[in-house]
Chains A and B, each alone.
Chain A
Amino acid sequence: MTAVVGTRMLRKEDPELLTGEARFVDDLVIPGALHLAIVRSPHAHATIKSVDLTAALAQPGVVAAFSGADLRSEWAGPMPCAWPVTEDMLNPEHFPIAVQTACYVGDAVAVVVAETDMAARDAAELVDIDFDVLPAVVDLEDALSDRVLVHEALGTNRSYTWELIPAPEAVEEAFANATHTVVERFVQQRLIPSAMETRGVVAVPAVYGGEFTLYTATQIPHILRVLAALTVGVSESKLRVVAPSVGGGFGSKLDVYAEELLCLALARRLRRPVRWSEDRMENTQATIQGRGMIQHMELAADADGRVTAVRVRLLADMGAYLQLVTPGIPLLGAFLYGGVYDIPAYSFVCTGVFTTKTPTDAYRGAGRPEATYALERAMDALARQVGVDPAEIRRRNYVRADQFPYSSSGGLIFDSGNYEPALTRAMEMAGYDDVRAEQKERRSAGGTKHLGIGLSSYVEMCGLAPSRVLSALRYVAGGWESSTVRFLPTGKVQVVTGTTPHGQGHETSWSMIVADQLGVNPDDVEVLHSDTSIAPHGMDTYGSRSLSVGGTALWLATEKVIEKAKLIAAHQLEVAADDLDYAGGTFTVKGSPDRTMAIGAVAFEAFTAHNLPDGLEPNLEASSHWDPPNFTFPFGTHICVVEVDEETGKVDVLKYVAVDDCGTQINPLIIEGQVHGGIVQGAAQALFEEAIYDDDGNLITSSLADYLVPSAADFPSMQTDTTVTPSPTNPMGVKGVGEAGTIAAAPAVMNAIIDALSPFGITDIDMPATPQRIWTAIQQAGGTNGGPR
């Protein structure tokens, strides 16, 4: 059978999705379900003096209504934070519905349950809450001053300070001896993840027996099951969590949300199914946001521009509360502020700060885009200082191919890499030298449309994660993944995986891996996932971990299946197991090519158990739990070419080139899709998206008319290519690609814009680089219509 791994097989998931057959949470028909509507705080910070539910309860169709105080007794514990990054981290007690104080606009303060969605929403408008409005604190640096406390009881807005400074003296020495130093302050604006499907939940109590099924649009049914059980006080064994089709997450569905716990608690209390669907405006306020950092970035370099040290100080916006992994997000980037460069000395300090805004948490890339942005912007600044091309400054500093496995000064071991070929290839594809020549011509001609070229080389850490490393980082779970592979009597294969795809195409990729390993048609492989009753063990999908951890667990399970099948085949063929070769689903007796047995036939023998070797158990099935020994380290270089209209400040992206290396490729079509979407999501941070709050803590960008998610019309066709440097961390050599585009794109676009504006003496523009920001910068730089001075 021809190998399918490495081919552009169309996704098995797509016909169902494209024809509308797929079922998302809101599509589920649940007879007798009640609808939950949530009354949310219109104030960023307020004491709840009283909640009057009378008018809401009097509405037709309304079954119940509760305040946070009414529901306080439902909670066996507070909302969980699974990542207490330091021993002394401050974590305010936080329940699914605010009891005394609302701490951001959108914080749940009352609930209404009714027979229909409309009745619930209409009645929710009639809940009368008497708030005592407290001052908001929106700005990160202002919050750090503790002028206004988000949580009075904590006495400070500082949640934690986390440090990674392996050799402090080396850093001091490098800066003392540096010929060049770069000192930059970058702002990572808050982003709204904006998955196509907003969140949705249905909690269904069993007719008898006390079990609950929680259907929810989540990336983490397994983690949620444990934490929902603990928070709501339901036995874990009586809680089944199912994620049906999920329309994107980007990290925003990697959380334990108030609404999930509310539906469960209310279903228990009211003994009826309770459902909730988030509208888009709620999504902008009540679903976590991403980024939100101020980055102080410093480089020390010698006369040739060789970087000798990196020193980073971060302020990270936690928002009002710590959600599931909020405090740990900066740590996922903490090791990567040296990126692809061989930098001997390293210093990283991060302080997590509370503000009266929506909590932050994981958003595509989670910490790694922020790190790459700060470093790549700083490398361009260094190139300007040294007076060399941005490509040259990168070449001088790359970790060399012969240095792998490479021990970074940040304390990681980069598994494999070969950085320069990706840069060279990207430059070829972009026509780098020609664009530079055109830029020079345009500059001397003195027009008003300025060409800029931006480079971004990145490395990320995927395959979350080695459990021992997670332990060292004080994360309270492991990073293994599990899979079961079973042959069915008809020769078809059933796969159970602990990963939770929500757009990534695991059913396709997993089928391809099994097809090659077991010699079956990928259409004959069924992949079961995202249901804790079917796949009881799993750590779910985030951080580009699924293939390198879950895919490896699957691969190892197929190896176990083959191993057992070999014993049966040897018995049937009356030879020793060692005398069998295995390839493409067929066992062959060494030296006797006509003596063969297909693994499907072996599977049937294992099923009937009529003639198995003594002591061997029936059926052909195996499970594997894989805990990776290391992260994987995908990398690449992206190049962006922009044209900036000096008169209007508008940026046009003319060209975008991406060369990525995610190790061994299972399905290049899926890789391209991930890269395309990732690039636009990253470029969106550079050009379009920003969650804007006013001084009172109101979210101004609470609809898709104001929060500018770009569409296909706003970005040119991308040119993509790959290099392949297999990972030694896992047997297939795979690395992960879900976040690469997002990590690389924002700095590539911003470096291009700064490059275009460099004749004006402009060295910084905050993201997103809006026309008004660019025009204002040009005005402040003394630019006039008709070209730079």
Chain B
Amino acid sequence: MITASFEYRRAGSADEAIALLTENGDDAKLLAGGHSLLPLMKLRLARPSMLIDIGRLADLSYIRVDGDQIAIGALTRHHDVEVSELLAREVPLLPAAAGQVGDPQIRHRGTIGGSLAHGDPASDLPAVVLALGGTIVVRGPGGERSIPAAEFFNGFMETALAADEVLTEIRVPRLEGAGWSFQKFNRRAHDWAIVGVAAVKTGAGSGSNGEGAGVALVNMSSTPVRATGVEEALASGASAAEAAAHAADGLDPPSDINASPEFRRHLAQVLVRRALEEAGV
């Protein structure tokens, strides 16, 4: 439960972090809140030779309106997302989910950007940003690029973020009063979800794909994943209950001490139905 030895550098700016990443390659990792990376390091499952601490880059901690979107700085702590009045008004799904991440200590340290960059399929916020159809902004030596959340999560704890890039911002659309739901199923209050569901009602034809809801799942695949079976069923006119039956279509959920794949599929169906009902779909 003690990490292997590593070098520690503190970056004074995002550019300095990028320069350090470029210089040190794959063996360097960014340290933000440390609540995903450090546990892996203590188990010696992760052994980066260098940690680049970006935790004090205050200019990457913000929540602001930007046109029809809300922009959230990558270093915004879960607690700040949880208590943001702006988000409560514009994208209430996000603070509701952030308020269920871990426990108060974790929420005061962990950051939204760290959670997305870690790409853990069991984390809550990646699925939320997926359901919202959000965008992830990253910066590297070649400048800035925006990646749709749907294209960001590539594999188990693998993302489209390159080794020399820093995740700087998350952008999500303003919900404008649309119905939403976040269903998190776990055994203890502070655990990862056994299965979780984030759902946003989009209204027929109003969403980017013309579907009736954006639905994404926590811990149902090797990545945070959209429940495309549900979304397609809704787009074809299915009721919430009918659509929910497709929650696990095409998915190969994990097996662990809390749930078999079969139980996860069942939970996904129950929770998606509850989410759609709560979102008013």
Q: List A residues at the B interface (Cβ < 8 Å).
A: 117-118, 121-122, 279-281, 647-648, 650, 687-688, 692, 700-701, 703, 705-706, 708, 710-711, 713-714, 770-772, 775-776, 785
| Stretch with Cβ within 8 A of A (4 or more), from B68-76, B79-87, B258-266 | B258-266
* A713 to B104 alpha-carbon distance, docked (Å): 11
Q: List chain B residues, Cβ under 8 A from A705.
A: 39, 191
Q: Is A647 a contact partner of B190 (Cβ separation < 8 A)?
A: no
**Closest CB of chain A to B267's CB: distance in Å?**
6
Q: List chain A residues, Cβ under 8 A from B190.
A: 711, 713
Q: List B residues 128-176 near A (Cβ within 8 Å).
A: none
Offer 22 A-B interface pairs, CB within 8 angstroms, sorted by A.
A118-B2, A118-B5, A121-B2, A122-B4, A122-B5, A279-B2, A281-B1, A648-B267, A648-B271, A701-B257, A703-B43, A708-B187, A708-B188, A708-B191, A711-B103, A711-B190, A770-B187, A770-B258, A771-B258, A772-B259, A772-B263, A776-B263
* A279 to B39 alpha-carbon distance, docked (Å): 13
* A776 to B258 alpha-carbon distance, docked (Å): 13
Q: List B residues 46-70 near A (Cβ within 8 Å).
A: none
Q: List B residues at the A interface (Cβ < 8 Å).
A: 1-2, 4-5, 39, 43, 103, 185, 187-191, 194, 257-260, 263, 266-267, 270-271
Q: List chain A residues, Cβ under 8 A from B267.
A: 648
Residue among A118, A279, A648, A710 making CB contact with B188, cutoff 8 Å: A710
Q: List chain A residues, Cβ under 8 A from B185.
A: 648, 650, 771
Contact A692-B257, Cβ < 8 Å, known A708-B191, A711-B103, A714-B189: yes
Q: List chain A residues, Cβ under 8 A from B263.
A: 771-772, 775-776
By Cβ-Cβ distance, the 6 closest A-B pairs, closest first, are A713-B189, A279-B1, A647-B270, A772-B263, A714-B188, A280-B1
Considering the complex, give the chain B residue whose CB is closest to the CB of A772. B263
Q: List chain B residues, Cβ under 8 A from A711.
A: 103, 188-190
Known: A121-B2, A708-B188, A711-B103. 19 other contacts (CB 8 A): A118-B2, A118-B5, A122-B4, A279-B1, A281-B43, A648-B267, A650-B185, A687-B187, A688-B187, A688-B188, A708-B187, A713-B189, A714-B188, A714-B189, A771-B185, A771-B187, A771-B259, A772-B259, A775-B263
Considering the complex, give the chain A residue whose CB is closest to the CB of B274. A647
Considering the complex, give the chain A residue whose CB is closest to the CB of B263. A772
* A700 to B190 alpha-carbon distance, docked (Å): 20
Q: List chain B residues, Cβ under 8 A from A713.
A: 103, 188-190
Q: Is A648 a contact partner of B2 (Cβ separation < 8 A)?
A: no
* A701 to B43 alpha-carbon distance, docked (Å): 14
Q: List chain A residues, Cβ under 8 A from B271.
A: 648
Q: Is A775 a contact partner of B194 (Cβ separation < 8 A)?
A: no
* A703 to B42 alpha-carbon distance, docked (Å): 11
Q: List chain B residues, Cβ under 8 A from A706.
A: 257
**Closest CB of chain B to A699's CB: distance in Å?**
11
Contact A700-B188, Cβ < 8 Å, known A117-B2, A279-B1: no
* A118 to B42 alpha-carbon distance, docked (Å): 12
**Closest CB of chain A to B264's CB: distance in Å?**
9
Q: List chain A residues, Cβ under 8 A from B103.
A: 711, 713
Considering the complex, give the chain A residue whose CB is closest to the CB of B185. A648
**Closest CB of chain A to B260's CB: distance in Å?**
7
* A785 to B190 alpha-carbon distance, docked (Å): 28
Considering the complex, give the chain B residue whose CB is closest to the CB of A645. B270
Considering the complex, give the chain A residue whose CB is closest to the CB of B256. A706
Q: List chain A residues, Cβ under 8 A from B43.
A: 281, 703
Q: List chain A residues, Cβ under 8 A from B258.
A: 770-772
Contact A775-B187, Cβ < 8 Å, known A279-B1, A280-B1, A770-B258: no
**Closest CB of chain B to A405's CB: distance in Å?**
44
Q: List chain B residues, Cβ under 8 A from A280.
A: 1
Q: List chain B residues, Cβ under 8 A from A776.
A: 263
Contact A772-B260, Cβ < 8 Å, known A648-B185, A711-B190: yes
Contact A648-B4, Cβ < 8 Å, known A688-B187, A711-B189, A770-B258: no
**Closest CB of chain B to A9's CB: distance in Å?**
31
Q: Is A775 a contact partner of B266 (Cβ separation < 8 A)?
A: yes
**Closest CB of chain B to A348's CB: distance in Å?**
33
* A648 to B188 alpha-carbon distance, docked (Å): 14
* A711 to B191 alpha-carbon distance, docked (Å): 11
Q: List chain B residues, Cβ under 8 A from A770.
A: 187, 258
Considering the complex, give the chain B residue whose CB is closest to the CB of A281. B1
* A117 to B194 alpha-carbon distance, docked (Å): 36
* A703 to B39 alpha-carbon distance, docked (Å): 11
**Closest CB of chain B to A233's CB: distance in Å?**
33
**Closest CB of chain B to A1's CB: distance in Å?**
44
Considering the complex, give the chain B residue whose CB is closest to the CB of A280. B1
* A648 to B4 alpha-carbon distance, docked (Å): 40
User: Which residue among B2, B188, B189, B260 has the maximum number of chain A CB atoms within 10 Å of its CB?
Assistant: B188
* A771 to B263 alpha-carbon distance, docked (Å): 9
Q: List chain B residues, Cβ under 8 A from A688.
A: 187-188
Q: List chain B residues, Cβ under 8 A from A775.
A: 263, 266
* A692 to B258 alpha-carbon distance, docked (Å): 11
**Closest CB of chain B to A261's CB: distance in Å?**
23
* A754 to B270 alpha-carbon distance, docked (Å): 23
**Closest CB of chain A to B43's CB: distance in Å?**
8
**Closest CB of chain A to B107's CB: distance in Å?**
13
Q: List chain B residues, Cβ under 8 A from A700.
A: 257
Q: Is B189 a contact partner of A648 (Cβ separation < 8 A)?
A: no
User: Which residue among A648, A700, A706, A776 has the maximum number of chain B CB atoms within 10 Å of its CB?
Assistant: A648
* A65 to B194 alpha-carbon distance, docked (Å): 43
**Closest CB of chain B to A24's CB: distance in Å?**
17
Q: List chain B residues, Cβ under 8 A from A714.
A: 188-189
**Closest CB of chain A to B86's CB: distance in Å?**
27
* A688 to B5 alpha-carbon distance, docked (Å): 35
Q: Is B259 a contact partner of A648 (Cβ separation < 8 A)?
A: no
Considering the complex, give the chain B residue whose CB is closest to the CB of A773. B263
Q: List chain B residues, Cβ under 8 A from A281.
A: 1, 43
Q: List chain A residues, Cβ under 8 A from B266.
A: 775
**Closest CB of chain A to B186's CB: distance in Å?**
9
**Closest CB of chain B to A706's CB: distance in Å?**
6
**Closest CB of chain B to A715's CB: distance in Å?**
10
Considering the complex, give the chain A residue whose CB is closest to the CB of B195. A648
Considering the complex, give the chain B residue whose CB is closest to the CB of A117. B2
Q: List chain B residues, Cβ under 8 A from A785.
A: 270
